[in-house]
Structure formats: structure tokens, C-alpha cells
Structure 1
């Protein structure tokens, strides 16, 4: 009767990001809506003019950018004594800019942080290009399966059995009824990424950490 082995294989790889998407907001507030709205439009026009000369989908330094619709609203704030203050009008618009040149990214952000009053940096999303991300995920999954084979064979060797034969491979946590994947949710490979933001001298230094790609799989083997 064959002996069955169920093992988990995992592998992690790290790669430097290739794109950084800056997420910013231009926003102002004041006692009247029209001046606030006009100020946002003026600053948005200035930001657009700073992006357009850098935009080149193939060579960069900016490969893509977009702006959202201007959002307006009003509220009546309260002071510390519980008195309701006059109406305050707000206007804001979001802008996203994808860079392939991270030096240009830092320079562009630092210039607007210093020179644009309503400019607010929401964050930077670091990423790989789609093609390289798929290649890395494929390589990581392959290594995870190889790790599972190695572990299963080590168990078989310890028991004095022969070569193992695979009978099932699945995303981690799915070799059982009612069990759902772990880690990445819907797939065997998932990414973690982080960025270190620090200010240095007169120029903002946005330095991304490596993107971490991890794959975890479960596999079932048998050996005579």
C-alpha cells in the first residue's frame, strides 16, 4: 500500500521596483467657493504643465498620469467653546503620476511640496512592470513546487521508500474541503512592498524598498 505525504512548499524573491506612482491631492478652503475652486484649477493647471514635458509612455521619466474630477463641499466647523463658526468651502482634486525615473520622481515631488501651497503627498505605490511581475511570480511558484517535491522526497527517504509521485498540487490551504487559500487570498503568489520616505537636504528623498513576491503551495505525493 503506498504511503501518502502532504507538504507545503514556499519561496520568496525580492526585486527592485520599476515604477512609482505618486498620489497627490491639491486642496484649498476658504469663506467663498469660487475663489477656492479657481485656486485649485490654477494649481492643477500648473501641475499638469510640469508633467506634460516629462510624459513619454515608452521612455519616461513619466509613463502615465491622470487627474480626477474636482470635488467641492462645505461645512460649518465648531470652535473649542462649542460655537458654530461661519461656513467654510472646500475644493480638492486628486492627481496620479507614474514615474520610471525615481530621481525625477523625488525632484518633482519636492518641488511641488515647497512651491505649491495646496499640494499634499498621499503616498507612492511602488510596482514592477506587468511583464516582469508575471515572470517573477512564475519563477517563484516554480521554486515553491520544487521545494515541496524536495521535502516530500526527504520524508520518503527517511522511511526507506522510493521516489515520490505527485497526485495533487494546489494553492496553500486548498488541499481540503472547505479550506481557503492563505497569504495572497486568490492565488499562490502574492506581493508585499514598502517604501522608506525620508527628507534629505533641500530635496525630498523617496527611496523604495524591494518588492517581495512570495508563493506558497500545498502538494500531495505518494511513494511505494
Structure 2
């Protein structure tokens, strides 16, 4: 006769970020679509030029960047008296740029937020792909050890013998029809305020968290 023990194991690791992806939005409004579009196009050209100068896939400081096309739409805003105002035309474009040098990132953000209509929406902190893969393996192993130790503690509390693993899976997948409830993914998002022209942005890179959660079943021989 044996006793079945089901446990959940988890493990997390934190590392300083190695990459930062800045997300920038350009939005300009005008009384005509043509004026709004021209303004957004002009501002987008300034940001594009700055990223092109910094772009170097191997050496950085910008290892990758992208942008979408200028988009236009119109809306009629309301004032605080509840009156609908004349039509306002808006043109917008977004940029994303991945930096390997955080000092250069701060300088670039300070200059970019001085561009008409530009706002830094967020910064996504991350590890390099190789480091993230290595750390993912480590935290998965840590989650397995946590589950094993927990199962053995339960067995010891019952004065039983060594716990033997029967099954192991991502959290939520041990029972048929269930989907995983845990994953291994870095937490990468942070918000920051717009900077003033020609000043470094005062931001602190956030540590990246890699975590793993698993479920496991163990059996232990029960005393006869």
C-alpha cells in the first residue's frame, strides 16, 4: 500500500536587465487631416533619423527598431459644458526600439520627448535570448526541487519513507482537460514619465523575474 502526495512547486530568479525596449507614440492634432498628417510625418522623420544613426544589430546601442505607418482619424470632442466641439483630426505613429546601452537609452529618450507630439509610453526590460533560456532551465529545475522537498516534508510528517515521483507537469496539467496555470516568463514592463529636452531620464532599470510553477505527484510506501 502506498500514499499519494500531490504538491505544487515554484521557483523564481531575478536578474538585472540586459535589454530595454522603449515604446514611443507620436500623436498630433489639427483642424485638418492634411495638417495633422504633415506634422506627424515630420516628427516621425526626426525619430526615424535618430534611430537609424544608433542602429547596429551587433554592437548597439540600438539592436532593433520598428515603426508603423502614420494613421489618421477624426473625432468631435466635448467641452466641460457638454457642448460638442468642431471636428479634430489626429495623426499618429508608434515606434519601438531595443537598446543594449541604458545610458544611451536615457539620452535618446530625453531628445525624443522633445519632438513635437512624442511620448514614451513604456519601457520593457528583458534579458538576452540566450541568458533567458539558460535562466529558464535553472528556475524549472528549482521548481522541481521545491516540489520534491515539499513532498518529502509531507512524507516525513507522516513518518513515511522516501517520496518517489509519479508524475510532473506544468501547473494545472496533471488532471485531464486542464490547461497550464503557471508559466515561465519574464516580467518586463515599467512606466516612466516624459523627459525634458537635453536631460537624462531618471529611471531605474527593473530586475527581470523568471519564474516556474509545476505540479507533481509522489507516492510513498505506507507502513504495513
Query: Normalising to structure 1: TM-score of the pair?
Result: 0.88
Q: Decide which structure has greater strand share.
A: 1
CA contact (8 A) 2:62 2:99 kept: yes
Write the distance in 1 (CA, Å) between the matches of 2:132 and 2:38: 41
Summarize the alignment of residues 195-206 of structure 1 with structure 2, pairs less than 5 Å apart. Answer: 195=190, 197=192, 202-206=199-203
Write the distance in 1 (CA, Å) between the matches of 2:28 and 2:193: 26
Distance change in 2, residues 1:200/1:92 (3 Å): closer
How far has the Cα of 1:3 moved from its partner?
2.1
Summarize the alignment of residues 80-95 of structure 1 with structure 2, pairs less than 5 Å apart. Answer: 80-95=80-95
- What 5-or-longer segments of structure 2 have no aligned partner? none
Matched residue, 2:119: 120
Deviations 1:48-83 (A, max 9, x none): 111112111111000000110110011233333444
Determine if the alignment matches structure 1 residue 149 to structure 2 residue 148: yes
Write the distance in 1 (CA, Å) between the matches of 2:213 and 2:44: 45
- What 5-or-longer segments of structure 1 have no aligned partner? none
CA contact (8 A) 2:122 2:192 kept: no
How far has the Cα of 1:154 moved from its partner?
2.6
RMSD between superposed Cα atoms in Å: 2.1
How far has the Cα of 1:217 moved from its partner?
1.1
Write the distance in 1 (CA, Å) between the matches of 2:62 and 2:167: 45
How many residue pairs get aligned? The number is 219
Task: Give the 4+ runs in structure 1 shifted more than 6 A.
Answer: 198-201
Query: Normalising to structure 2: TM-score of the pair?
Result: 0.88
Matched residue, 1:134: 133
Matched residue, 2:25: 25
CA contact (8 A) 1:195 1:207 kept: no
CA contact (8 A) 1:10 1:215 kept: yes
